[in-house]
């Protein structure tokens, strides 16, 4: 009898621990999503009104830097160019995106719908990008070519 009571007590403690850990994880995810949402409200007004407006701002650079990004499941792939805090891109579904980025945060319009997110160390996550409530994945950038001196020296 004592062994079964101790066993039930131990099982209850384990279940309470699992529920607490799950609740803590859920709270952390909700907090992060709320941070993304609050950032999106602030930056929405600074996003260019159209793809062509954003492209003009990026195209001022002699050779814009290019990017490639994809979702964790590989269903969505986007490529484009960025510079001076602006970006433009097209995805594998033929839809366009444009917007702004700075300090680990990006926001803009995808197929006419506003989205916002965060990026860091080749990882990104966003709300309302690719027509999904929440998405995440990886990205790479292709750096701008660097001019180097020739082998001949000036005399």
> Which residue would you say has higher pLDDT here, 154 or 57?
57
- Domain ranges within the chain, ordered by starting residue: 1-146
Question: Is 142's pLDDT higher than 80?
Answer: yes
pLDDT of residue 2: 57
pLDDT band at 70 (very low <50, low <70, confident <90, very high): very high
Kindly tell me the sign of the dihedral angle through the C-alpha atoms of 37, 42, 43, 44: positive
Is there a contact between 124 and 118 (Cβ–Cβ < 8 Å)? yes
Q: Please write the tens of the pLDDT for every residue from 3-35.
A: 566 666 665 666 566 556 555 556 666 666 666
Q: Please write the tens of the pLDDT for every residue from 71-126.
A: 999 999 999 999 889 999 999 999 999 999 999 999 999 998 999 999 999 999 99
Does residue 58 sit in helix, strand or coil? Answer: helix
Kindly report the CA angle at 121 between 36 and 71, in degrees rounded to 5? 65
- Rounded to an integer, the average pLDDT of 51-68 is 82
Whether the pTM exceeds 0.75: the reply is no
Structure tokens at 113: 């719908």
pLDDT of residue 28: 62
pLDDT band at 57 (very low <50, low <70, confident <90, very high): confident
pLDDT band at 59 (very low <50, low <70, confident <90, very high): confident
- Rounded to an integer, the average pLDDT of 139-146 is 80
Is there a contact between 95 and 111 (Cβ–Cβ < 8 Å)? yes
- Rounded to an integer, the average pLDDT of 138-153 is 73
Phi, psi of 11 (to 5 degrees): -65, -40
Question: Is 128's pLDDT higher than 80?
Answer: yes
- Nearest residue to 102 (alpha-carbon basis) of 39, 146, 56: 39
Question: Is 61's pLDDT higher than 70?
Answer: no
Burial bucket for residue 78 (CB in 10 Å: 0-12, 13-18, 19+): buried
């Amino acid at each position: 009898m004592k062994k079964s009571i101790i066993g039930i007590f131990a099982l209850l403690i384990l279940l309470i621990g699992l529920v607490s850990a799950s609740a803590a994880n859920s709270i952390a995810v909700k907090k992060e999503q709320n941070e993304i949402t609050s950032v999106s409200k602030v930056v929405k007004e600074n996003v260019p009104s159209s793809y062509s407006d954003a492209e003009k701002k990026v195209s001022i650079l002699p050779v814009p830097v290019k990017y490639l990004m994809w979702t964790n499941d590989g269903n969505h792939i986007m490529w484009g160019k960025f510079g001076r805090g602006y970006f433009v891109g097209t995805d594998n579904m033929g839809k366009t995106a444009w917007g702004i980025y700075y300090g680990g945060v990006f926001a803009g319009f995808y197929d006419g719908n506003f989205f916002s997110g965060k990026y860091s160390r080749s990882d990104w996550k966003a709300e309302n990008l690719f027509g999904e409530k929440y998405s995440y994945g990886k990205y790479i950038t292709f750096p701008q070519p660097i001019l180097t001196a020739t082998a001949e020296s000036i005399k």
